[in-house]
Chains A and B, each alone.
Chain A
Amino acid sequence: MSVLSAPRFVRPRWLSLPLMVGIALVLFWLVATVAAPWMTVHDPLDMVGRRLQAPSWDHLLGTDALGRDVLSRTLHGARHSIPIAVTVVAVAVAIGAFLGALAGFIGGIVDTVIMRLVDVTLSFPPMLLAMAVAASLGPGLENATIAMVIVWWPVYARLMRAQVLEVREREHVEAAVASGATQTRVLTKHVLPLCWTPVLISATMDLGQVILLAASLSFIGLGATPPTPEWGSMISDGASQFYSWWVALGPGLAILTIVLGFNFIGDGLHDYFDPRSK
């Protein structure tokens, strides 16, 4: 038997420490999104203990004002926050990329109309606009989702338009036009495939910020409605039970860690693509 050193995990060069921490944090919450029911002992909606119990072995993060287990509710919260953030970003990218590509590719009056709409939408402080729209649509997670899409799509429209404008000037596009490709074909086959990467990277980075915005809306009562275990509204419960600090601790740490995860990933990628900042 030959003497072999134990297989050692060799960290690839691109996998910096911040990136690793970020991926670990995000992965944890992705697992919770899928597996929360199997990770918890108590049902998130059942009154399983006395109300406002401090953390103990039975309830690691204590119980809330209705005697529900805070840990269970926190883990189940991922099942609301993460799908919502993904939906908001996906729909916003779809709308924004479509309109941005049209604006950049067609130009003229289409460009003007779309981009002025973008300018005006981006002229609002995001939270105020989201609040106004969410309030007029009425409380509820679906409406909060719509409100956030309305606030967020212009970001991707701007990005996509800039990409299209840049790619359109490249030589292979000129070649395609010269060889008689239709406008649609040039856009879908020769321009768009080269535009997606920055949009998708920025969309991924934005997930953390969308989670924060969604939680903020729920916190002021415009998102999730009781008894949904959503992090923002759980912190709002905690605010009304101010002296039972543990009620808000779990959901607060949940938001902090997942947003931190996305920010770590963004920071790590930034270092990798821009080594001068090291």
Chain B
Amino acid sequence: MTRYILRRLIAMPFLVLGIVTLAFLLTSVTKGDPLTAIVSDRQLNNPEVVAAAKAKWGLDRSLPERYAIYVGNLLTGDMGTSFITRRPVAQDVLYRLPATMELVIAAMAVGATIGISLGVLAAYFRNTVIDHVARLFALFGSSIPVFWLGLALLYVFSVQWGVLPGPGRLDARATPPPMVTGFMTIDTLLAGDFRLFLDAVWHLILPAFVLGWAVAGTISRLVRANMLEVLSREFILTARAKGAGEFRVVIRHALRNTMVPTLTVIGYSFAYLLTGAVLTETIFSWPGMGSYAVDAARGLDFPAIIGVTIVGGVVFLVTNLLTDIAYVVANPRVRLG
């Protein structure tokens, strides 16, 4: 086990270098002209301005040179300057990462809660209406485009019924608390403003559900399959024979024995959530990495595109690594060389 973990850790720097290289290459083989994003239309005909801009952004160098410069800068934590915001990309991304994390963690909590409950119910009441509804819920979750679901729920719950707030992380009239962690729910508490905290939670509900639905579906299917298997084992019969109540049998005896694969799928769902977050953030005007990536992609802001892709890749890599390690640690039966 130790050897497996060590081997995975040693592979990490190479994978990160691979991510950097691939992100750089794929975005450099470009037809779009980033100059149009830096220089105004009128100035494009002015050769001096164009040459100066090229020199400043290194656009006049050859590809290998630009790559070497980029990796060198990256080692010092410099991801270049965004064409659009004119701020360092690393700073932009760090500033926006917590908002995405808050949304993704909330979505994970929603997905895990709904998914595990539905999975248990579906297995216990297999082939009844409950089971079929749970299956439909799961299938719809992985079929609905999140950007459409977000629009539809905003329209119904916010505009028509007015029971949930509109886009954003806080009420538009509220003054945001000073940024400490970047997690709005934590920062409002640190600022000692409980009403603002409730407002932040209130604003999280819709986007977290929109993002978490598909994950809830996947989790519920997996929990159901594992529960079916565990419920047919003999120790469940023993527990029942000893007079344990049904609730106790299902939760304490059966569900506990399905937790390892469940935690694993929750870990891997992170990838899906990061992907979905891009679109959910756009719909809910959520100032996270996803909406930053969309703005960068729309504006041909290459430093920002590469930066955000690399950070996304590294976050993704680390969560998958942690999930793999957690799986091996939690499940001693798995033997890996």
How far apart are the CA atoms of A251 and B152 in the complex, in Å?
Answer: 12
Cβ contacts under 8 Å, B134 to chain A: none
Near B by CB (< 8 A), chain A positions 147-190 give: 150
B119 to chain A, nearest CB (A): 12
Cβ contact within 8 Å between B278 and A136: no
Cβ contacts under 8 Å, A191 to chain B: none
Cβ contact within 8 Å between A135 and B27: yes
Chain A 198-238 per-residue mask, 1 if CB under 8 angstroms from chain B, else 0: 00000000001000100110011110000000001001001
11 A-B pairs in the complex with CB atoms less than 8 angstroms apart: A120-B19, A123-B313, A131-B293, A132-B27, A133-B27, A136-B27, A221-B298, A252-B145, A255-B145, A255-B148, A276-B229
Cβ contact within 8 Å between B275 and A222: no
Cβ contacts under 8 Å, A243 to chain B: 159
How far apart are the CA atoms of A278 and B225 in the complex, in Å?
Answer: 9
- Judge whether B144 is part of the interface by a CB distance below 8 angstroms: yes
Cβ contact within 8 Å between A136 and B316: no
Cβ contact within 8 Å between A123 and B19: yes
What total of chain A residues lie within 8 Å of the partner, measured CB to CB? 50
Tell me what chain B mostly uses at the interface: helix, strand, loop, or mixed.
helix
Q: Which of A127, A134, A238, A259 sits near B278, CB closer than 8 Å?
A: A127
A116 touching B297 in the complex, CB below 8 Å, given contacts A136-B30, A263-B139: no
Closest to B18 in A: A120
A267 touching B159 in the complex, CB below 8 Å, given contacts A131-B278, A221-B298: no
Tell me what chain A mostly uses at the interface: helix, strand, loop, or mixed.
helix
Cβ contacts under 8 Å, A135 to chain B: 27, 32, 296-298, 300, 305
- What 7 pairs between A and B have smallest CB-CB spacing? A120-B18, A127-B275, A252-B148, A135-B297, A259-B143, A260-B143, A136-B30
What total of chain B residues lie within 8 Å of the partner, measured CB to CB? 56
Given contacts A119-B15, A123-B317, A129-B23, 18 further A-B contacts (CB under 8 A): A120-B22, A123-B316, A124-B309, A125-B271, A125-B274, A125-B312, A127-B279, A128-B308, A128-B309, A133-B26, A135-B298, A135-B300, A143-B31, A242-B151, A255-B143, A256-B145, A267-B135, A278-B127
Cβ contact within 8 Å between A119 and B32: no
How far apart are the CA atoms of A120 and B11 in the complex, in Å?
Answer: 11
How far apart are the CA atoms of A19 and B147 in the complex, in Å?
Answer: 27
Chain B 261-279 per-residue mask, 1 if CB under 8 angstroms from chain A, else 0: 0000000000100111011
Cβ contacts under 8 Å, A14 to chain B: none
Cβ contacts under 8 Å, A71 to chain B: none
